Structure 1
Amino acid sequence: MPTDTAAQIAWQEAGSTSNPTLIFLHAMAGSATAWAPQMDAFSSNFRCIAWDMPGFGDSADAPDGADMDWTVATLHRFVTQTLGLKSAHIVGLSVGGMILQHLAAAYPDLVDSAAILDSSPKFGYGGDSDPDAFADPILAGFDSGTTAAQFSDGMIRAIVGPNCSEDVKLATIKSMSRARINGLALTTRLIAHHDAVDKLGDITCPTLAMAGADDAETPPAYAYAIAQMITGASATIIPNSGHIVNLENPTPVTARLRFFLEHGL
């Protein structure tokens, strides 16, 4: 597994470096290994890169107080300096999709296309959810000794759809268990303070928003909202899946991504 010695970011890779690059950004409920079906499906046509975001897998911890601006800057440096790319196609799931929204708005020339899966334009979009009421109990639990493995098991079982198999749950728990408390705390803060509503109009690349039909965390209405805020974007809802759509029902997800990457629609 290559490691970025500057930003200390690790990643998994498949496919030829002569192909266009397709980068996968995982959810809080995941890590680089959570993209296995898509890495396998696209490696014949793309150089596939799945990063471990800071605090996950083999990547270094984020500094105290790291926020969305820091995370976007770290991702930008990873793409342009570590990978040496001028641009790439990028897919982001959940908090990965939130990071992608901010990246595509800030660096429009860097993102050839954006696929935003099981994400939201803003924390608690359309309601009055309190970010601190969401984040504080989670962070307090970490301070009190909740382990990454314990948190992963409870979280995955709560966010997948009712038709998710036990095998998929266990595979997803295993992937998320590669996180450390530093990474889980970072993603908790990123989710709680996420707000890209005023930035989505700055995204100019072809964009696809996708959600699981049974996703109670970021419901289909969020995917439609994201698509409406980005010129030319489209939305797709995947049946029989909750918040980890790429693993719960990978076949239609991969098929829709393939069409999007080939046609930009």
Structure 2
Amino acid sequence: MFSKAGELPMKCKMRNVRGISLKLCECGETEAKPALVFLHGMPGQISNWKYQLSYFCQKYRCIAYDQRGYGESEKPLRVSLEDYLKDLDGVLKHFELSPEEVVLIGHSFGGLVAQTYAKERRIKGLVLIGSVLKWEVTLLDRLIAVLPPVLWRRVLFTKNPLTVRVYRDMFFSPKTPKEVFEEFMRDNERYISRLPAHVHRYWKFFSDYDARPWLSDIKVKTLVMVGADDKVTPPSWSEEIHRLLPNSKLVVIEEAGHL
């Protein structure tokens, strides 16, 4: 899902949404309903959806934006789940859309935002790709929390053989084509390594997240997707999300990891 930045088939602009500067992008048929709204993961950006947008913009109105803290959007010191939900409200308002007119498509952390939004607002449809059932703090999170930025940038975001092996094992399937993984690594160095240190610690604001008590309250038609080899948000999570959502379909993608 990672792709080269700057190759989006969209019209993009910076806009003030609820007092924060966000990059908003749009393409496709402006009158088409429902509109598709794409929510990237953590730490992601609009260009993660390049291939999906190139396809869906041919028939649908598509909207994507850099969520606060990521891409070209503003990067505050602190964030909360409520911030992301209200940002989504603000983005829909900017494009003159009501929640009932959109299908939310979220990957990973974007899925967390999308499913939580669907719990509180009535939307047209929901697509969850490798979504978060409950937050689990990873070793990578803990390292970033305690190491000085100059050190973890050098260790985690360089092309030394150990780093390359860790990223491939963590985020990709053993069957992932070499060129796809190499594209991810190029973007990883160029984008993720340049994010401010505090952005890499945003996970701390979501460490108590658990969707299990309320997922069954979401009645909207939902497509749940996950890579069979996903080690970040394992298939068992998507299977439980599917079990808890009363109006859902589960699709497991063979030979695919988290990205």
Common fold, TM-score beyond 0.5? yes
Aligned amino acid, residue 161 of structure 1: S
Question: 1:19·1:46 contact (CA, 8 Å) conserved in 2?
Answer: yes
CA deviations 1:84-130 (Å, max 9, x no partner) are 210211111111111111111111x2x21111111231124xxxxxx
Q: Give the one of 22, 26, 51 matched to 1:9.
A: 22
1:173 Cα shift? 3.7
Structure 1: which 5+ runs fail to align? 125-130, 245-265
Q: 2:124 is paired with a residue of what secondary structure?
A: strand
C-alpha spacing 1:2/1:214, structure 2 compared with 1 (3 Å) = same
- CA–CA separation in structure 1 for the residues paired with 2:182 and 2:125: 31
Match of 2:80 in 1: 67
Match of 2:239 in 1: 224
1:138 Cα shift? 2.2
Q: Give the one of 134, 146, 157 matched to 2:152.
A: 146
CA deviations 1:138-172 (Å, max 9, x no partner) are 22236455349944874743311111123212333
- CA–CA separation in structure 1 for the residues paired with 2:231 and 2:219: 29
Q: Give the one of 242, 245, 253 matched to 2:257.
A: 242
The higher-RCO structure (CA 8 Å, 6+ apart) is 1
- CA–CA separation in structure 1 for the residues paired with 2:26 and 2:187: 16
CA deviations 1:10-31 (Å, max 9, x no partner) are 1333212112311111122531
- CA–CA separation in structure 2 for the residues paired with 1:199 and 1:144: 41
Query: Is residue 39 of structure 2 the alignment partner of residue 33 of structure 1?
Result: no
Q: 1:224 is paired with a residue of what secondary structure?
A: helix
Match of 1:121 in 2: 133
C-alpha spacing 1:192/1:172, structure 2 compared with 1 (3 Å) = farther
Q: 1:61 is paired with a residue of what secondary structure?
A: coil
C-alpha spacing 1:197/1:24, structure 2 compared with 1 (3 Å) = same
Aligned amino acid, residue 227 of structure 1: H
Q: 5 Å matches for 1:130-145?
A: 131=137, 135-141=141-147, 143-145=149-151
Residue identity over aligned pairs, in percent, reads: 23
Q: TM-score, normalised by structure 2?
A: 0.80
Q: Give the one of 171, 175, 194 matched to 2:183.
A: 171
Structure 2: which 5+ runs fail to align? 1-11
Bigger shift: 32-41 or 11-20?
Answer: 11-20
Q: How many equivalent residue pairs?
A: 233
Question: 1:94·1:120 contact (CA, 8 Å) conserved in 2?
Answer: yes
- CA–CA separation in structure 1 for the residues paired with 2:238 and 2:132: 7
Q: 5 Å matches for 1:136-215?
A: 136-141=142-147, 143-147=149-153, 150-151=156-157, 154=163, 156-157=167-168, 158-176=170-188, 177-179=190-192, 180-181=195-196, 182-186=198-202, 188-189=203-204, 192-215=207-230
C-alpha spacing 1:166/1:41, structure 2 compared with 1 (3 Å) = same
- CA–CA separation in structure 2 for the residues paired with 1:240 and 1:85: 37
Question: 1:156·1:172 contact (CA, 8 Å) conserved in 2?
Answer: no
Bigger shift: 114-123 or 138-147?
Answer: 138-147
Question: 2:44·2:71 contact (CA, 8 Å) conserved in 1?
Answer: no
Match of 2:9 in 1: none
